[in-house]
Amino acid sequence: MLNEFKAFISKGNVLDLAVGIIIGAAFTAIVTSLVDDLIQPLIGMIIGGIDFSTWGFSIGEAKFAIGNFITAIIKFLIVAWVVFLIVKAVNRMMPKKEEAPAAPAGPSDNDLLKEILAELKKS
């Protein structure tokens, strides 16, 4: 079992995945800082400094923090938009792959059926 585990870990896919997760975590910190420290204050200035985090209501002992939920949705949309823009910019900078030439078209389904019918008539 130990040898199987070593073989599994040493596969390139597992190592690539681990590197991807580590880079993704670091990238998440950068994007979160961009959103929290630059974009959200800018939006706060535009909408007059409205703070949704204090919005909420209580029913008995239960507290419903609607403002935190609204803030989380806004933050998600901003992060998604920033990631979209970054991916779009990176894709623009990457060299375009040349498309493989199209395979020559073979006989159509109708042609094949006609050939089969002709062979059946010969038999």
The CA–CA distances, whole Å, from 28 to 20, 73, 85 equal: 12, 16, 14
Domain boundaries, the chain: 2-95
Which helix or strand (DSSP H or E) is residue 81 part of?
A: helix 66-93
Using alpha carbons, select from 93, 75, 87 the residue that is nearest to residue 35.
75
Q: Name the percent of the chain lying above pLDDT 90.
A: 5
Mean pLDDT (the chain) is 81
* Cα(90)–Cα(82) distance, integer angstroms: 12
Using one digit for the tens of pLDDT, what is the confidence trace for 39-83? 778 877 887 777 777 788 999 999 998 888 887 888 888 878 878
Please, is 88 exposed, middle or buried when counting C-beta atoms within 10 Å of its C-beta (0-12, 13-18, 19+)? Answer: exposed
**Spatial distance between the Cα atoms of 85 and 79, rounded to a whole number of angstroms:** 10
- Supply the DSSP symbol for 54: G
Give pLDDT, residue 12. Answer: 65
Identify the CATH assignment for 2-95 out of 3.40.50, 1.10.1200, 3.90.1690, 2.40.128: 1.10.1200
Residue 94, pLDDT score:
81
